[in-house]
Amino acid sequence: MQTLIDFLAIKGFIPHGYCLNWNPLLLWLHIGSDVLIGLAYYSISLSLAYFVWLRKDLPYLKLFFAFGLFILACGTTHFLSAIMIWIPLYWVDGYVKAFTALVSVTAAVLIFRIIPKVLQLPSAAQLQAEIEQRKIAELQLRENEDRLNLSQEYGDIGSWEADLINNRQVWTKTTYQLIGLSDITQPTWEAFLARVHPDDRQMVIDANQAHLTQGAKYEVEYRIPFANGQHRWMRSVGRAEFAADGTPTRFIGIVQDITERKLMEAELKRSNADLEQFAYAISHDMRQPLRMVTSYLTLIETALAEQLDEEQQQFLNFAIDGAKRMDSMILSLLDYSRVGHKTIALTHVASRAALDEAVAFLEPERLASGGSIAVYGEWAEVMINPDELTRLLQNLIGNALKYHEENSPPCVEVCALTTATMFRVSVSDHGIGIDNKQFDRLFKVFSRLNARNRFEGSGVGLALCRKIVECYGGSIGVESIGEGQGSVFWFELPISQLAGIGL
């Protein structure tokens, strides 16, 4: 006992009860209060510890720990106050109070450091407002999804989404219907491929791999067989999303029934074949009688040359000229009908080479007129049938050489302008010009603005130019201040022409 007294350094001190004159009522008032306060402090500390144990995701754990330790130390000081009524543990009480002071200062510092961060946290009202906003946004999202699903259903368009990381897919109801599967079927890549026509399956696989590994455009057309022996054509378009390292993570797309379009294309292809056959018939069957008429009229003219008077000779010349003009019109109609129906593969054509070829063809006309042709600008490559590009340039430049006043040699300027998406050519002249009220008639078949005895022509050349340009998704037009002021014919073509013209 003496060793314990020495250790606790209580020798020479008197208990706190002496200060209270050992008054029983006063003693128990202090003891009861200190014990109850100590128990309350301990229970608060234990409650905090239990709360933190259950909520390990709480922020500011250091602050919770400092407060718990501070409250526990405060409770200990009250328990010591009750004990010191009888035992003078003043040194122990001092040590505990010093520890409590250290912990309390630490907690205070932490509070001052954390208060600015806590003030940045949203209040309960702000959180409630954010929750309401999210509920509204979620409701709008559901409504948009419902509208999208409804539009896809009525538009006969399905959509799909593939989680490439977790190998999961989601299909809409319309997607199941289009590929002929029950909506209880697990949506997988394998289930989809099993429904694709065997002859189209590898093409779909290759397109999918090319998109995911090389970034190629994913747009495929394939057949889906059905139990009745028929098949329907589908078109799928999709886009993948990639991680920073290039790994595909998500693949979304749509599927659309294009059977009706395919049937129309087949019918159009058949119609084009009929048109080609009709054009051949015109070329062979209709031109043959015309050539015969022209030949016999020429023979009659030769045989009766000395017997015909001036009026009879004029009548005969009219007949021969009319037959030749009819033959020329038939040839022009054939050329017009064949634009857009040729099966020649489209290639990247150097437009300057096509221009040089057109100018070479027009050299006799240029020499006969005494005119000049100047070329400017940047001549790009375009995806087009090379013969049609040459024909287009030849017609426009040929018109510029033709339509000029008799004593005024034509001066033709051909200029090209190339941008990232468009190739534009303009053909300028100082010729007879055009009344702007006549612009609408220029590009129509057999539409002539000048008398035939002044300028020869079938009236099909500009209509042919318009058809060539529009077949490649371009546009054509004319500008002129008025008659006698010259004119500028221009056309524009896309730099990258992806669509073919033959079906």
DSSP state of 286: I
Residue 29 confidence (pLDDT) above 70: yes
Residue pLDDT, tens place only, 385-394: 888 888 889 8
Q: What is the mean pLDDT of residues 279-294?
A: 67
Region 212-222 average pLDDT: 90
We report the CATH number of the domain holding residue 241 as 3.30.450.20
Overall average pLDDT of the 361-369 stretch: 85
> What backbone torsions phi and psi does residue 472 show, to the nearest 5 degrees?
-105, 20
Q: Are 405 and 448 found together in one domain?
A: yes
Residues 333 and 369 in one domain: no
* Best mean pLDDT range from 245-254, 278-287, 402-411: 245-254
| Cα–Cα distance measured from residue 181 to residue 183, given in angstroms and rounded to the nearest whole number | 6
> 369 and 490: one domain?
yes
Lowest mean per-residue pLDDT among 137-151, 304-318, 476-490: 137-151
Residue bearing the bigger pLDDT, 95 or 348: 95
Say if 139 falls within a structural domain.
Answer: no
- The tokens describing 400, both together, are 């510029």
Which has the minimum average pLDDT: 79-88, 107-116, 182-191, 421-430? 107-116
At 210, the pLDDT band (50, 70, 90 cuts) reads: very high
Indicate the helix (H) or strand (E) that contains 20: none
- The DSSP-derived string for 28-51 is HHHHHHHHHHHHHHHHHHHHHHHH
Residue 469 lies in a domain: yes
Q: Residue 385 belongs to a domain with what CATH number? A: 3.30.565.10
Q: What is the pLDDT of residue 501?
A: 32
Contact call for residues 183 and 173 (beta carbons, < 8 A): yes
Does residue 9 share a domain with residue 98?
Answer: yes
Q: Is the pLDDT higher at 173 or at 281?
A: 173
Q: How confident is the model over 116-174, as pLDDT tens digits?
A: 887 777 777 888 888 888 888 887 777 666 666 655 565 578 888 889 888 899 888 88
Mean predicted confidence (pLDDT) in 87-93 = 85
Q: Tell me whether residue 148 is in a domain.
A: no
Are 310 and 398 within one domain? Answer: no
Per the domain annotation, does 427 fall within a domain? yes
**Average pLDDT over all residues of the chain:** 80
Q: Would 132 be classed as within a structural domain?
A: no
- 370 lies in the same domain as 498: yes
Average the pLDDT over 402-422 and give the result. 84
Give the end of a domain, one of 216, 238, 257: 257
Same domain as 497, residue 456: yes
pLDDT confidence of residue 346: 67
Residue with the two structure tokens 């100018």? 359
- 488 and 375 both lie in a single domain: yes
The residue range of the domain holding 320 is 265-338
pLDDT tens, 266-277? 887 887 777 767
DSSP 285: I
Residue 125 placed within a domain: no
pLDDT of residue 283: 61
Whether 374 is in a domain gets the answer yes
Residues 309, 218 share a domain:
no
pLDDT confidence bin for 497, thresholds 50/70/90: very low
Out of 257, 288, 320, a domain closes at 257
Q: Considering 257, 278, 293, which residue would you say is the last residue of a domain?
A: 257
Please tell me whether residues 333 and 347 are part of one structural domain.
no
What is the predicted pLDDT for the residue at 1? 42
Asked if residue 128 belongs to a domain, the reply is: no
Residue 285 — pLDDT band, cuts 50, 70, 90? low
Q: How far apart are CA 311 and CA 293, in angstroms?
A: 20
Q: Give me the pLDDT at residue 451, please.
A: 44
193 — pLDDT class (breaks 50, 70, 90): very high
369: helix, strand or coil: helix
Q: How many Å apart are CA 13 and CA 83, to the nearest integer?
A: 14
Answer yes or no: is pLDDT of 446 > 70: no
Number of domains the chain is built from: 4
Burial of 16 (0-12, 13-18, 19+ CB in 10 A): buried
Q: What is the mean pLDDT of residues 439-463?
A: 61
The pLDDT tens digits of the residues spanning 56-66 come to 777 777 878 88
Phi and psi dihedrals of 398, rounded to 5? Answer: -60, -40
Helices (H) and strands (E) in the chain, counts: 15, 12
| 147 vs 478, residue with greater confidence | 478
Note the pLDDT tens digit of each residue in 370-386. 888 899 888 888 888 88
Q: Find how far residue 254's CA is from the centre of its chain.
A: 13
Query: Per-residue pLDDT for 325 more than 80?
Result: no
Average pLDDT over residues 418-447: 77
Whether residue 55 is found in the same domain as residue 37: yes
Are both 460 and 363 inside the same structural domain?
yes
Find the mean pLDDT for residues 17-31: 86
Q: What percentage of residues in the chain have a pLDDT greater than 90? A: 11
Question: Would you place residue 503 in the very low, low, confident or very high pLDDT band (cuts 50, 70, 90)?
Answer: very low
The pLDDT of residue 335: 65
